[in-house]
Structure formats: structure tokens, C-alpha cells
Structure 1
Amino acid sequence: MTLAAEAALSVATRFYSPALLNHSIRSYLWGSKYGTAHSIAFDDELYYVAALLHDIGLTEAFDSHRLPFEEAGGRLAWVFGVAAGWPADRAARVSEIISLHMSDDVAPADDPESHILQVATSWEVVGRRPEQFPPDARAEILARYPRLGFGAEFLACFEDQARRKPASAAAASVDKDVAGRITANPLENPPSA
């Protein structure tokens, strides 16, 4: 693990709840599995840092009362990258990846790290593309990093964002029944072994 990856894990461990921490780690793992399965070449360190910090703007310490959480988190990730000794353009990339994870789909050829973070987080939150994640991989990852009530906690975060930031992507998700999609996510109620 690189120094930047270790630092990202340290930041995530310090500021996330256990459910959000596990979500971020699972997002990295899902995206890595998906990228590898589809022969998508991606920068592992850059993707790891983005996956670990993609929801940092939902935390009390780093919530912005004006910016959508993904923009606030992206800006903090830029600061993180520069502090980690990355060149400004690499820090800008981690910021962009985090900001884009709540946007319309990004093609893997255009931006592999943003694409796999979008795939991973949409699977994690609402169960999108279940065919990409076989039951054995699901069982293994969930055993190591359980959800710990993630769905309910995440929904509360999005509802809070929607109330305070009605023009945000989180508000649009709430309007499009993210609550129902979270409840229907196969990760919320995996089959018993």
C-alpha cells in the first residue's frame, strides 16, 4: 500500500462511521473487481484514494452547507492529494473522480476511474448491475466488510443533503425514490447461506 493509500485509509477511519468506512472499502473492492473483469486499465492508487474519500463530504467534519457533498469531498480530496505530495494535476484527477461519481454515466474509455467508481457506488447503494457481482464475491466482501446498517444511514445522509441542498444530485436521488431502491438492493438483504 502506498503512503497516499495508507493516509486515505487513516482519514476515512478517523472521520467515517463504521458503516460509511465499510461502504468506502467495499466500493473500492467492487470497482476493482469490475474493472479487472472488464479489462479496464485504471490507476489503482488514484482509484483507491477516490473510493476511500468519495463520501467524506457527508461527514459532519467536512460537510459544506452550500456545496453538494460530492463537490465538497472532491475539493477536500484535492487538498489531500497535494498534501500527499501529488502533482496538482493528479490531485485534480482525484477531485474530478469524486465529483463525477454522482453524475451521469462516464464511459470507461473516457475516464476509467470515474466509471468504475460510478459502477461500484451504484451497486453498493441501490443494487444497480447485480449481474456484474457474482454471489461468491458478494458473500466474501460482505463477510469481511459488513454493511452495519449502511442503507438506513446513507438514506438519512441523502435526505439531509436534499433538505439543505435542494438542487443537488442527492436531492434528485431522493426525488427518484432512492429509499425504495436502497431497500430493494440485494446487498441489503442477502440470501442466507
Structure 2
Amino acid sequence: MPAPFSETFPETPAATAALAVATRFCPPALLNHSIRAYLWGAGYARAHGIGFDDELYYVSSLLHDIGLTETFDSHAVPFEEAGGRLAWVFGMAAGWSPERSARAEEIVVVHMRDPVAASEDPESHLLQVATSWDVSGQRPGEFPADARAAVLARHPRLGFGAEFIAAFEEQTRRKPGCAAACSVTEGIGARIAANPLDA
């Protein structure tokens, strides 16, 4: 079994395709964030003995913010819902069942919703933990200094914090009732600025 925060990825056709999609459409900082989200979540799961579907979690991690990109941003639909629908389309095109494709959609949407327990939905729980850590520095004690250094060396932040808050502020301007707007109202900008990953 790999170490908790080791650089290992699923090797399936769907995983390879998800990386290709994210690489093409996500700017470099957002792509690295998506890869880090997988690594943080998978490492957290191994450290806590949480069983999860590795391929499903990887694909969902790679696509979870694709609704923020220029190509897939929706002027009417919250970014996580737009990204979730794309994840469903991706899953179907990859030959997944409708049920598995719907799980990818659910995970992408739920990462912007109220916290869920690992016992209830492990993949959504992992994506929530991983993205809240990578975006705004929550649960720093779960991510040891050596793991932080190793992940950031391979997948640097590239000004991610500033780029991300700008994207959320733009979502807020166009979709004032969305989850991103609530995050801005609740002070996510200050939390992003204080993220220990940018120290």
C-alpha cells in the first residue's frame, strides 16, 4: 500500500481521459489545484482508513472546477452544477453506467454543499476535505509538512489563490444566489489570503 500522500494515480482509460480534458481546458493553476485535490483526498483517506473508489474520485477531482473555465462556465447555472453535468456526460462517454456517471455528477456538486460524512459518501467527503484545505487552509493538522512540500513541488500553486477568488467574485457578480457567492459573503477571500499553503 502506498504512503498516505504518495504520488500515485489510477491507471484506467477514464482516468487518462479526465487528465487530458482537464489539461486542455483548465488554466495551469486550476489544473494543479485539481490534481492536488485528488492527492490530498486520497492521502487523507489512506491516513484515516477510508475506503473509496479511486477512479471515481480521481475523475471527479480532475473535473470538479471545470465549470469555472472559460469554455464551460455557465451564465445561468452555478459552476459546480455545470461541472457536475459535464462530469455526467464525461462518464457516459467513457462507457460508465448511468449510475456511475450520476455519482461523478453528485460528487462534483456536493463539494460546494454542506459537509457529508465519510460513512455516508466517502468520495464527496474526500473532495470536500481536500478542496477546503487547498483553497482556504482548513484542517492543516491533517496534512504534514513533508507531504505539503512534496505535493507543492510537483504541482505548484502558480498564484492559485488570487485566480480562484477572482473566479468566485465573477460567479458572485453573475449568479448572486449561488454557493460561490455565499462563500464570498462569508469571507472566503480572507481565508484564502491566510492559507498556510501560500506562506
Q: In which range does the TM-score fall when normalised by the shorter chain?
A: over 0.9
- Give per-residue Cα distances to partners, 1:105-145, cap 9 Å, x unaligned: 00000000000000000000000000000000000000000
SS in 2 for 1:141: helix
Letter in 2 for 1:32: A
Q: In 2, distance between residues paired with 1:129 and 1:68?
A: 26
Once the 2 structures are TM-superposed, how far is the Cα of residue 37 of structure 1 from its aligned partner? Answer: 0.5
Q: In 2, distance between residues paired with 1:188 and 1:99?
A: 26
Q: Does 1:164 align with 2:174?
A: yes
Q: Once superposed, what is the RMSD of the aligned Cα atoms?
A: 0.4
Q: Does 1:96 align with 2:101?
A: no
Instruction: State the partner residue of 2:124.
Output: 114
Instruction: State the partner residue of 1:71.
Output: 81
Q: In 2, distance between residues paired with 1:154 and 1:20?
A: 8
Letter in 2 for 1:180: A
Q: In 1, distance between residues paired with 2:187 and 2:173?
A: 15
**How does the TM-score come out when normalised to structure 2?**
0.94
Once the 2 structures are TM-superposed, how far is the Cα of residue 41 of structure 1 from its aligned partner? Answer: 0.3
Letter in 2 for 1:120: A
Once the 2 structures are TM-superposed, how far is the Cα of residue 160 of structure 1 from its aligned partner? Answer: 0.3
Q: In 1, distance between residues paired with 2:22 and 2:76?
A: 22
Counterpart of 2:72 (choices 62, 70, 85) is 62
Q: In 1, distance between residues paired with 2:94 and 2:151?
A: 28
Extract unaligned runs of 5+ from structure 2.
1-10
Runs of 4+ in 1 over 4 A off after TM superposition: none
Q: In 2, distance between residues paired with 1:68 and 1:130?
A: 28
Pairwise mapping of residues 102-181 of structure 1 onto structure 2 (< 5 A)?
Answer: 102-181=112-191
- Give per-residue Cα distances to partners, 1:18-76, cap 9 Å, x unaligned: 00000000000000000111100000000000000000000010011111000000000
Q: Does 1:17 align with 2:27?
A: yes
Q: Does 1:8 align with 2:28?
A: no
- Give per-residue Cα distances to partners, 1:138-164, cap 9 Å, x unaligned: 000000000000000000000000110
Counterpart of 1:36 (choices 4, 29, 46) is 46
Once the 2 structures are TM-superposed, how far is the Cα of residue 188 of structure 1 from its aligned partner? Answer: 1.3
Q: In 1, distance between residues paired with 2:46 and 2:77?
A: 33
SS in 2 for 1:125: helix
Letter in 2 for 1:118: Q
Q: In 1, distance between residues paired with 2:183 and 2:38?
A: 22
Once the 2 structures are TM-superposed, how far is the Cα of residue 177 of structure 1 from its aligned partner? Answer: 1.0
Letter in 1 for 2:136: V
How many equivalent residue pairs? 189
